[in-house]
Amino acid sequence: MRLPIALIALTLLAGAATAGDWAPAPAPLMSRFAKDVSPDRVHPEYPRPQMVRTDWLNLNGLWDYAVTRKEAPPPQAWQGKILVPFPIESALSGVRKVFYGHERLWYRRTFDIPKGFRGKRLLLHFGAVDWEAAAFVNGKEVGTHRGGYDAFTFDITEAIQPDGPQELVVSVLDATGGIQPKGKQNCGSLNALGTLGYTCSSGIWQTVWLEPVPEASIEKLRITPDLDAGVLRLSVTGRGTTGEETVEATALDGRKRVVRVDARIGAEFVLPIKNPKLWSPDSPFLYGLTVTLKKGRRELDSVTSYFGMRKIALGKNEQGFVRMMLNGKPVFQIGPLDQGYWPDGLYTAPTDEALRYDLELTRKLGMNATRKHVKIEPDRWYYWCDKLGLLVWQDMPSSGGTQSPEGQRQFEAELNAMVGGLRNHPSVVTWVIFNEGWGQYDTERLTGWVKQQDPTRLVNSASGGKFYPVGDVIDDHGYWIPTALKQDGRRAVAVGEFGGRALVIPGHVITEKVFGHPGGTCLASPWELTRHYIKLLRHVHEEREKKGLSAAIYTQLSDIEAECNGFVTYDRAVVKMDISEVAAANRGQLPPPTEFRVLSPLGQQKDAKEPVLWRYTLEKPPDEWLKPEFDDSAWQQAPAGFGKGGWRTQWTTPDLWMRREFTLGPEKLNAPELIVHHDKCVEIYLNGVLASRINGYSIEPQEFEIRPEAKASLRPGRNVLAVHASKGDGGQYIDVGLVDPR
């Protein structure tokens, strides 16, 4: 396909865009990194850290854009400027508009060829485009690509004009919801505001760049550490080579040469690494690597790279449990579910510093792993994982189109691209093929195929999904109680998702309609959230010791759109838990269980000798019902807990109002807390003062902080606990107690 000459002539007359032509589109929330974004400096870092050349040209910045119908011819005029590489739906693109499957997105810019590039092959690289892209240089089609997450390259040498500006046009189709893997994208609005889907990221969303290479050059490296043999296995693929060339590979420890080996191009060879410095989260040591392509004594091409010497495998510990082993030793993997969304850039982080921030925060939280959830990141994200020492579980982006043969072929093509594109990173230790059964099919075949493609890593065939007797991991999801499934003697057990506790930080959300994990508890303070997290980690480490749990992944790293269950707010401005306490818990350094003095007991134990009695009504009482002096003698009396089903007292109406008196002695109170088992919404008052307002549900009693003014109302003698419970949109249950830590 060749673009019309008239279009080329028209667009070549367009002036160069300047920073003054761009501003972020209005959005409900921006990250704290947005201020560092400008058209003349947008993701300026070299985008491929594992195969670096000196000369390159960054094509990020302001491009012309237009949106047409899918079948329409190329546009004759442009609708405005878009900042590449931010998706058209994002605020940082400067556009922020919905892109539909029946439309086509067009991009256009010009560039000049630097003098040093002349006489070489010119490669046009795309980090990622979602989803189907075609590129044209000076009106000539130079290539097409399908796949929203993998990098691709076109040789544009033959399309380059002898002098003057060169024109680049890209067209994109993105019918998310069709056959392509899409991850959590849920198109059709700018704020999906759903727990199973977020705003789409259509079009170019990773760096676009130009690179000059000689006629015969290095196309890719395949780097495989082999600790058992004490070597690094390396193969070098050439572009434009004849097979007569050789490669010279040098491993470096800083500036010190470790070993140098000469070999034929295309064949695997080894670099002996004596007494290797091992890569691990505790010591993420990276060797340098230089690879030079030669013909005789003449150097044709050279790239620099790096590698880590590490081994991930399964083994049994002293207790006989199958465990995930790093470098021959059991390493318990604890980390967040990291979905990689940003309020201003969506799929695209505002800056490289922003990418790094998320990973550094993960490490500060005492975590050694991260699960990249149904998304694939730019290469620099994995580079920072390599540098900082994070064990990466890499999910394959899920697809809703795998019920068709065409959808299955596309899923497998992109799965193959993911494994091949990321296999050189030492941080990547586990491939996750399916999540919770989404689009799951042919699990046994695909697990075997991935293992054959990369036998050096673990394969988690179905995280929280339908399990088959294949792969290396049995991975269940347990949001309220993280519980290890029974081992089968062959596979490690993991909890691939748990937690999801929510805390809203006003001023740092994009909507007032927020939640944590579906139906989960929304907590009132950082104290409560931290306390709940530590309680969850106590369960995790008990499962680790008693059942051989190998890994646990907490949902999630950051808030996303309507989900407020992150360690950090969506704008990355507020860390919502106490970092030092969380880090200690993640490392297994848990505080001793708190001992409580009961001030007002729970009543849910069915075998309790003395039921805890409450006065209650199912009809809305006068406004004074919560005050200590209110006369509740006309209300019914019954024991807690109240609920629908086999509880002590049946409660089936939408609302329930409860009161009970309790007596405090003269002893000084330390830091009284509420103990609440609830489903769904609860307001709790102490002596007529609001003590807590809780949404969601819990499946066991949980501690909640008492508001200071309610705490101040407690006094020796008679006190009144009043509760208004409503079932919300789900089940119903309520039991409330009051305790004081000893």
Mean pLDDT of 484-512: 93
Decide if pLDDT at 538 tops 60. Answer: yes
Residues 480 and 352 occupy one common structural domain: yes
Residues 302 and 316 occupy one common structural domain: no
Decide if pLDDT at 90 tops 50. Answer: yes
Q: Is residue 141 part of a domain?
A: yes
Decide if pLDDT at 672 tops 60. Answer: yes
pLDDT score of 666: 94
Decide if pLDDT at 421 tops 60. Answer: yes
pLDDT score of 19: 60
Residues 637 and 682 occupy one common structural domain: yes
Q: Which among 628, 645, 618 is positioned nearest to 724, based on CA atoms?
A: 618
Longest dimension (CA), the chain: 101
- DSSP run (H or E) holding 382: helix 379-388
pLDDT digits (tens, 9 = 90+) for 699-715: 788 889 999 999 999 99
What is the distance between the alpha carbons of residues 737 and 740, in angstroms, rounded to a whole number?
10
pLDDT digits (tens, 9 = 90+) for 107-150: 999 999 999 999 999 999 999 999 999 999 999 999 999 999 99
DSSP string, 237-296: EEES--S--EEEEEEEETTEEEEEEEEETTS-EEEE-SSPPBB-SS-B--EEEEEEEEET
Residues 328 and 456 occupy one common structural domain: yes
* CATH number for position 570: 3.20.20.80
Mean pLDDT of 555-583: 96
* CATH number for position 727: 2.60.120.260
pLDDT band of residue 598 (cuts 50, 70, 90) is very high
Residues 95 and 193 occupy one common structural domain: yes
- The domain boundary, picked from 307, 340, 362, lies at 307
Among 81-90, 180-189, 723-732, where is mean pLDDT lowest? Answer: 723-732
Residues 543 and 575 occupy one common structural domain: yes
pTM: 0.93
pLDDT above 70 coverage of the chain, percent: 94
Q: Is residue 560 part of a domain?
A: yes
pLDDT score of 233: 98
Residues 347 and 423 occupy one common structural domain: yes
pLDDT band of residue 193 (cuts 50, 70, 90) is low
pLDDT band of residue 332 (cuts 50, 70, 90) is very high
Mean pLDDT of 376-393: 98
Q: Is residue 47 part of a domain?
A: no
Q: Are 49 and 207 in contact (CB under 8 A)?
A: no
DSSP string, 193-251: --SS-B----EE-S-EEEEEE-SSEEEEEEEEEETTTTEEEEEEEEES--S--EEEEEE
pLDDT score of 6: 34
Q: Which domain holds residue 72?
A: 5-30+61-206
| Higher per-residue pLDDT: 231 or 465 | 231
pLDDT score of 519: 46
Q: Is residue 277 part of a domain?
A: yes
pLDDT score of 199: 94
Decide if pLDDT at 196 tops 50. Answer: yes
Decide if pLDDT at 550 tops 50. Answer: yes
What is the distance between the alpha carbons of residues 94 and 20, in angstroms, rounded to a whole number?
12
pLDDT digits (tens, 9 = 90+) for 38-55: 999 999 999 999 999 999
Provide the CB-side half-sphere exposure for 35 (13 A, CA): 3
Mean pLDDT of 499-523: 77
pLDDT score of 647: 80
Q: Which among 260, 238, 233 is positioned nearest to 249, based on CA atoms?
A: 260
Residues 107 and 175 occupy one common structural domain: yes
Q: Is residue 9 part of a domain?
A: yes
Residues 513 and 612 occupy one common structural domain: no
Q: How many domains does the chain have?
A: 4
Q: Which among 383, 382, 389 is positioned nearest to 335, based on CA atoms?
A: 389
Among 297-311, 479-493, 718-732, where is mean pLDDT lowest? Answer: 718-732
Residues 353 and 413 occupy one common structural domain: yes
pLDDT band of residue 514 (cuts 50, 70, 90) is low
pLDDT digits (tens, 9 = 90+) for 176-189: 778 999 999 988 77
Decide if pLDDT at 8 tops 50. Answer: no
| Higher per-residue pLDDT: 648 or 325 | 325
Decide if pLDDT at 15 tops 60. Answer: no
pLDDT digits (tens, 9 = 90+) for 352-367: 999 999 999 999 999 9
pLDDT digits (tens, 9 = 90+) for 300-312: 999 999 999 999 9
Q: Are strands 458-463 and 121-126 parallel, antiparallel or unpaired?
A: unpaired
Q: Is residue 602 part of a domain?
A: yes
Q: Mean pLDDT, the chain, as a whole number?
A: 93
- The domain boundary, picked from 283, 307, 331, lies at 307
Residues 90 and 200 occupy one common structural domain: yes
Q: Which among 524, 514, 517, 483 is positioned nearest to 501, based on CA atoms?
A: 517
Residues 321 and 418 occupy one common structural domain: yes
Mean pLDDT of 546-552: 97
* CATH number for position 299: 2.60.40.10
Q: Are strands 208-213 and 140-146 parallel, antiparallel or unpaired?
A: unpaired
Mean pLDDT of 612-622: 96
pLDDT band of residue 340 (cuts 50, 70, 90) is very high
Q: Is residue 56 part of a domain?
A: no
Q: Is residue 41 part of a domain?
A: no
pLDDT score of 480: 82
